[in-house]
A and B are shown apart, each in its own frame.
Chain A
């Protein structure tokens, strides 16, 4: 344990606070830029929209299944998931390869790239900016002790092994901000902020954004659903509710 370092108040005024403010402002800027870029040229593919609507309908059927009689439910289920011409049934081999689809449709690749760029460019720029102006400062001190393992994480940019681990270099403060401000952004920008967008994109690329797979999954969950008509029990339910009311 090193004894307490004395940090200059100028570091607070010219490093810690500006860095944090800039991170917040850049996050807001990125949100609006990505919003602007997204709103241009949105012509959805007819087939994808159609499949999406089918999925929504199937989901509605699934969630409201208990409110229709068994016969009607079965008829609807067959309509969605029978093996010959059900709406959710995807014939084998006809499923389009998402990769090929992406290459055939330059717009899609373009869109992905735009989203990527709107994420990566500000981050690289801020990182370069932080590196250029603030490299090598001990900018902050976290108020709890940590083990030596965190040294590379928290003291990125200063190569001193004698400084206590809880001191944070400015570059690491930047990283802390990058991850920790997500909550603040969701408060000031609303639910659909830019950081959420990245998560969705990761999901997309991870699952290999494939509408036919969604259809298949929806079909499976529709197939296994247990149907239990609720209406016969509704008289008791109504009785209970009314009794509660007069009580």
Chain B
């Protein structure tokens, strides 16, 4: 995740976000969205494997997923140096985007790791 972020979030936007005028470079913005998507997918897969190895079942696993996603959000915010508006057009991008997208990957890898480690 750090590698992804290093390469692209650090590209400074053309906007200084001091004004109400949105001056965003569409390409950079898309790049940032892609970074968010990648980080979330990556972390949901890793989180799934961890949850499986630790042997979470039922509700605990889903709570773990939401915890992971919340940590991701905080991490992305820290990466943006808490000045979200110079990288994204709204807070929702960081907090909500792709929140449920990784769930299927998470469940798959959770099941996979859990099965391999625990049920056989």
Contact = CB atoms under 8 A, between A and B. Distances in A.
B112 interface: yes
A93 interface: no
Given A183-B101, A187-B42, A143 B19 contact: no
A241 B58 contact: no
A137 to B, nearest CB: 12
Interface string B77-120: 00000000000000000000000011011011111101110011
A153 to B, nearest CB: 13
B104 A184 contact: no
A191 B104 contact: no
A8 B115 CA distance: 12
Given A183-B101, A183-B105, A187-B45, A143 B110 contact: yes
B32 interface: no
Interface residues of A, number: 35
Interface in B21-40: 21, 26, 34, 37-38
B19 A240 contact: yes
A141 B57 CA distance: 11
Contacts of A186: 37-38, 41
Contacts of A244: 16, 18
Contacts of A17: 116
Contacts of A179: 104
A240 B18 contact: yes
A233 interface: yes
B73 interface: no
B108 A177 contact: yes
Contacts of A8: 120
Contact of B114 (A143, A187, A241): A143
Interface in A2-20: 4, 7-9, 11-12, 16-17, 20
A181 interface: yes
A63 interface: yes
A176 interface: yes
Contacts of B56: 143
A144 interface: yes
B55 to A, nearest CB: 8
A184, A230, A233 — most chain B CB neighbours (10 Å)? A184
A9 B120 contact: yes
Contacts of A9: 120
B120 A143 contact: no
A141 B119 contact: yes
Contact of B111 (A66, A140, A237, A241): A140
Contacts of B105: 180-184
B116 A16 contact: yes
Interface string A130-174: 000000000011111100000000000000000000001000000
30 contacts: A8-B120, A9-B120, A11-B120, A16-B116, A140-B112, A141-B119, A142-B111, A143-B58, A143-B61, A143-B110, A143-B111, A143-B114, A144-B58, A144-B59, A177-B108, A180-B105, A180-B107, A180-B108, A183-B44, A183-B101, A183-B102, A183-B104, A184-B105, A186-B41, A187-B42, A187-B45, A191-B34, A237-B21, A244-B16, A244-B18
Given A9-B120, A176-B111, A183-B101, 12 more contacts: A63-B26, A141-B115, A143-B110, A143-B111, A143-B114, A144-B57, A179-B104, A181-B105, A182-B104, A191-B34, A237-B18, A240-B18
